[in-house]
Amino acid sequence: MSNVLFLMAPLALGVSLAAQAPRRTDETPVRESVSKARVEAILAKGSEALVTERREDARERDRLVLALSKLRVSVNWKAATPERVARDLASHVGDACAFFVRSRDGARDWETIDLELDKRPLVQALSIIASVSKIRFVFRSGVVLVVHEDAVRPELFLETYDLRMLTRKVRDYPAPEVGVPTDREPQVEDSEERTASGFDEDRFEELLRSSVLPGSWENGATILRSGGIFFVRQSEQGHREIRSLLRKFSH
């Protein structure tokens, strides 16, 4: 593990000193370097603050996210390296988790970040850090890896989605004319063909590719389909977003 830096808060603290000590009422609040509007936009995207690369880590990751959501963090970073980021975050979490910095090309200073945050929920802070830098946080085997965005390699696995009811074609037939009978021949209009969802298979595939982790389709994620059955190879986050998208069509 020579290429990994281990950072952890002293276990005896239980929680960080920052979390224990209440802020003085006469203390000047930190002016956050990220605007409120941008923070709201970042959080509205719903991207995961703490990603997993393996499905077996998902449940434990979710428990950690719940624990971290109860902690708050203030930072004032100028050209902070991943090592500094990991050390400062570790000081806030106590024994909730540990942080590893994964080196890149043999170096640990592969990114610097300028950021000021004032008493933000720690999970929100992770999302903001990931949105303003190339730093990503990966949960694996009980620890948080601080990695470069290009080093995140989520496991891809196959799921099957039956979209036959949504993509099957139905016809709209014009209603018969009601009125006084005449000698002229009735006009026969062509029936219109549509699908139950408004999307055929081609458009559904386009929707998935444009809405669900668009960059992943160039990095191993795939879609195969046959007769309305979609075979999708995606990450855990990708499949979760697909299920969320499909729920919108069930109402």
Calpha distance 217→233 (Å, rounded)? 9
pTM of model > 0.75: no
- Amino acid 202: pLDDT: 94
Per-residue pLDDT of the chain (251 residues; tens, 9 = 90+): 445 554 544 433 333 333 444 444 445 555 667 777 777 777 777 667 899 988 899 899 999 999 999 999 999 999 999 999 999 999 999 888 999 999 888 887 899 999 999 899 999 999 999 989 999 999 998 899 999 998 888 899 999 999 999 988 876 656 566 656 666 655 555 555 678 788 899 999 999 999 999 989 998 999 999 999 999 999 988 999 999 999 988 76
Residue of 47, 58, 44, 50 whose CA lies nearest to 157:
58
Note the pLDDT tens digit of each residue in 96-130: 899 999 988 888 789 999 999 989 999 999 999 99
Residues in CB range of 94: below 8 A, 6 or more apart: 9, 11, 13, 14, 15, 16, 19
Angle at 53 between CA 50 and CA 59, to 5 degrees: 65
- Amino acid 34: pLDDT: 72
CA terminus-to-terminus distance, the chain: 51
Alpha helices in 151-250 (DSSP H): 164-167, 201-211, 236-247
- Amino acid 10: pLDDT: 40
